[in-house]
Amino acid sequence: MEEEILKIKKEAVQQITAATAAELESLHIKFLGRKSLLAQLTARLRELPPAQKPLIGRLINETKRTIEQMLEEKSGALAKAEGEEFDLTLPALPQACGSLHPLTLVAEEIEEVFKNLGFVVAEGDEIEDEDHNFSALNIPLEHPSRDMFDTFYLEEGLHKKETQGRLLLRSHTSPAQIRVMRNLRPPLAVLVPGRVYRPDAVDATHSFMFHQIEGFAVDRDLRFSDLKGVLINFARKLFTAETQLRFRPSFFPFTEPSAEVDISCIICKGKGCTVCKGNGWLEVLGCGMIHPRVLQACGIDSKKWQGYAFGMGVERIAMLKFGIDDIRLFYNNHKKFLEQFNAF
Ligand code: FA5
Ligand code: MG
């Protein structure tokens, strides 16, 4: 009898394993029903010698329990599989494909223009110290940009004027000039893209974090006309041959003479809008001839070498390039906005 029971169990295992949902019910009747083989064996227990009865009885009960459990598990597994069943003939879901951010696209395009002129690309540090961000750039201690209202400082002791080494989030990319010029000897032509930080009030053209690209060259006999030449070439390459540049005399402690450069507003074609604040021009960069004191602070003989430098706002240029009328659109990660740059 023991053998018969094991045979039934083996058969049950095979059939339940291979069963479909529809077959489970009949297998339940076949193995556990009133007319099942196990039920018949139970009826024959009487015929057994008394010593064997409890043993075989227990084996039958255990087998019933095992089969019952297997049927339950199988039915659960089949129900779950049905829920996950999918139609292979359905068309695939479209995959959303990312693309480069408009600021990255514009920065790369600007880099390309200057690389073609022989500039190399370097990287500066976003956390700077006062020496690189200000002092070595000839920005005196009393200059308003060093005020804590105009710069994000990272450490305590903001009012100790005698310390030179407070840490800060760089407020422009110009400290990279110092880092490069203290490490490499001229002739140099270098481009440094990166993020900068200022506690500016946010509006359509200002953000507290934005991107600049610093560019500078140091060589013998460099003149302001060389600077004008590379900037006009840059504007014509990035925009159109008709793009107007306006050089406004300005002041930076680290350049002399200095200028700020405006580009004719491409958004309103000079008619006046929120981007150009109604005057038809948008300031995109500051520039000038590197101040002799800056060269000297880097151990470069200012009698032998001259340099020019410029620092452009990447957001402003991207706004003009793509006709974007609010700088905040670059940062809020709206898919509808970003998707428009897939084609570029
Ligand atoms: C500077 O930062 C100088 N370091 C530029 C420079 C470099 C001058 C080398 C001479 C030689 P300025 O603060 O003007 O200058 O900023 C440069 C450009 O950054 C501006 O023309 C503008 O395009 C952009 N910019 C300035 N502030 C913001 C802001 N809050 N949000 C977005 N763009 C800004
Ligand atoms: Mg300015």
118 Cα to the center of ligand 2, angstroms: 27
Q: Whose CA is nearest to atom 25 of ligand 1?
A: 313
Q: Which of 285, 306, 329, when mutated, tests ligand 1's pocket best, judged by the most ligand atoms within 8 Å of its CB?
A: 285
pLDDT in tens, 161-170: 444 578 999 9
* Residues 6+ positions from 317 with CB-CB distance below 8 Å: 106, 110, 238, 263, 284
Query: Residue 97 half-sphere exposure, CB side, CA atoms within 13 Å?
Result: 4
- CA dist., res. 298 & res. 294, Å (int): 7
What value does the mean pLDDT of the chain take?
A: 90
CATH 3.30.930.10 describes domain 102-339: yes
Tokens representing 49?
């010698």
Taking the CA of residue 206 as reference, the ligand 1 atom at the shortest distance is 31
Interval 222-245 mean pLDDT: 93
pLDDT in tens, 184-223: 999 999 999 999 999 999 999 999 999 999 999 999 999 9
pLDDT score of 157 more than 80: no
Domains of the chain, residue spans: 2-84, 102-339
pLDDT score of 33 more than 50: yes
Interval 119-141 mean pLDDT: 94
pLDDT in tens, 89-112: 888 888 877 889 999 999 999 999
Interval 15-29 mean pLDDT: 88
Cβ < 6 A, ligand 1 pocket? 172, 174, 198, 200, 206-207, 210, 212, 252, 255, 258, 283-288, 309-311, 313, 315-316
Of the ligands numbered here, which is closest to the C-alpha atom of 196?
1
What pLDDT is recorded for position 301? 97
Taking the CA of residue 282 as reference, the ligand 1 atom at the shortest distance is 23
Distances (CA, A) of 139 to 25, 134, 144, 187: 88, 5, 9, 25
pLDDT in tens, 254-289: 999 999 999 988 878 778 788 788 888 889 999 999
Of the ligands numbered here, which is closest to the C-alpha atom of 290?
1
What pLDDT is recorded for position 159? 47
Of the ligands numbered here, which is closest to the C-alpha atom of 311?
1
Taking the CA of residue 283 as reference, the ligand 1 atom at the shortest distance is 21
Burial 277-307 (b: 16+ CB within 10 A, else e): eeebbbbbbbbbbbbbebbebbebebeebbb
β-bridge partners, 252: 255
Query: Residue 246 half-sphere exposure, CB side, CA atoms within 13 Å?
Result: 12
What pLDDT is recorded for position 162? 41
Query: Residue 152 half-sphere exposure, CB side, CA atoms within 13 Å?
Result: 14
Confidence of residue 145 (pLDDT cuts 50, 70, 90): confident
* Residues 6+ positions from 54 with CB-CB distance below 8 Å: none
Q: Whose CA is nearest to atom 12 of ligand 1?
A: 286
What pLDDT is recorded for position 166? 87
Answer for the pair 330, 315: CB distance below 8 angstroms, yes or no. Answer: yes
Confidence of residue 314 (pLDDT cuts 50, 70, 90): very high
pLDDT score of 61 more than 70: yes
